[in-house]
Amino acid sequence: MFEKSRDYLAKPELYIPSTDPFWDDEHISKGMLEAHLNPHWDAATRKSDFLDMSVSWIASIAPPKQFHQLLDLGCGPGLYAERFNSVGYSVIGIDFSSRSIEYAKEQTQHNKSNIEYHYQNYLTIDHVEKFDVITLIYCDYAALSITDRLILLEKIHRALRPNGKFIFDVFTPKMRKKESRTWCYEEKGGFFCKEPYICLESIYQYDDYDETELRQSIVLNETEVHCYNIWDHFFTKEKLLSEAQPIGFGAYDFYGDVSGKKYSDAEETICCVFTK
């Protein structure tokens, strides 16, 4: 075990993948779904009051009558998708957590809301001028490398109809963490594993072009070592424009959050509305 763990203790090379899936792990996805469904947590989905405000703001800038077809990327268990549908959008949701997608499908049957859900990596979407609105909410764009961000922006631009809107949020540099190393012992099991485990958590900063941040969780149980690497990036308006302008959107609007708060460079998030 000591041998196996030691390999993970040095600062990892940029974009070394996790040893196991994170969002789609059988155990982790259970805790994640609980976090999504807790209306008072900001952990995996924002609090439910915020979701309500967010959906009514989006419906005000892209009214469902004119902007009918909506694609929600990284839809999780469908908390936004259900709300989008209830204000009049025709909704497709995509996520690569099978537990979240199963839950979302059950909800749409139960609510007779007629939302289409796909268990799919959103980096593989391939649509041409099919959607009026595409959303990617809760700073997922920031988890992608610059290569993947540009691939995704191209695909989104292609998938939007003329005048369609891509609406997403990102963290600003205010949210960058300090490098650190901490540990905890989960005697009864916990978020990462149902058996007892030790978790060694590190935050690393990289001085690459993208000033990448890594949150690494090394999970040690009786017999195994798992390593989860969650990459993050932080954005200014200028950086966002430098990525989106070459793709060829026609207009770029910025807000302080995804409920339409006024943009200020003192905020923790930026919400972007890019119009094709």
Considering the rule CB under 6 A, would residue 259 count as an interface residue with ligand SAM?
A: no
Q: Which residue has the tokens 């800038």?
A: 61
Alpha-carbon distance of 49 to 55, in angstroms, equals 10
25, 70, 71, 95: which one binds ligand SAM (CB under 6 A) = 95
Helices (H) then strands (E): counts for the chain: 7, 11
User: Judged by CB under 6 A, does residue 79 bind ligand SAM?
Assistant: yes
- For ligand SAM, the closer of residues 59 and 79 by Cβ is 79
Check residue 123 for interaction with ligand SAM (CB under 6 A). Answer: yes
The least CB distance from residue 8 to ligand SAM, in Å, is 23
Q: How many residues bind ligand SAM (CB under 6 A)?
A: 19
Q: How far is the CB of 26 from ligand SAM (least distance, A)?
A: 14
CB of 76 to ligand SAM, least distance (A): 3
Q: How far apart are CA 62 and CA 47, in angstroms?
A: 22
Question: Which element (helix H / strand E) includes 50?
Answer: helix 48-61
Q: Which stretch binds ligand SAM (CB under 6 A): 73-81, 159-167, 236-244, 248-256?
A: 73-81
Q: Which one of 50, 96, 191, 206 is in contact with ligand SAM (CB under 6 A)?
A: 96
> Which CB atom, from 167 or from 220, has the smaller least distance to ligand SAM?
167
The residue within the footprint of ligand SAM, chosen from 80, 192, 204, 249 (CB under 6 A), is: 80
Helix (H, G, I), strand (E, B) or coil at 206: coil
- Of 244 and 258, the one with the shorter C-beta distance to ligand SAM is 258
Shortest Cβ 137–ligand SAM spacing (Å): 4
d(CA 242, CA 260): 22
Buried b (16+ CB within 10 A) or exposed e, 149-187: beebbebbbebbbeebbbbbbbbbeebeeeeeeeeeebe
Smallest gap from residue 42 Cβ to ligand SAM (A):
10
Q: Are 210 and 146 in contact (CB under 8 A)?
A: yes
- Assess 97 for contact with ligand SAM (CB under 6 A): yes
Report if residue 74 touches ligand SAM, rule: CB under 6 A.
Answer: yes
Strand segments, DSSP code E, in 172-242 are 180-186, 197-205, 213-220, 225-232
Select from 155, 127, 130 the least CA-distant residue to 141: 155
Q: Report 207-246 residues binding ligand SAM (CB under 6 A).
A: none
The one segment of 13-21, 83-91, 134-142, 220-228 that binds ligand SAM by CB under 6 A: 134-142
User: By the 8 A CB rule, do 171 and 269 touch?
Assistant: yes
CB 87 within 8 A of CB 70: no
Segment interacting with ligand SAM (CB under 6 A) among 119-127, 160-168, 197-205, 244-252: 119-127
Q: Give Cβ neighbours of residue 209 (< 8 Å, ≥ 6 apart).
A: 146
Binding positions for ligand SAM, rule: CB under 6 A: 23, 44-45, 74-76, 79-80, 94-97, 100, 121-123, 137-138, 140
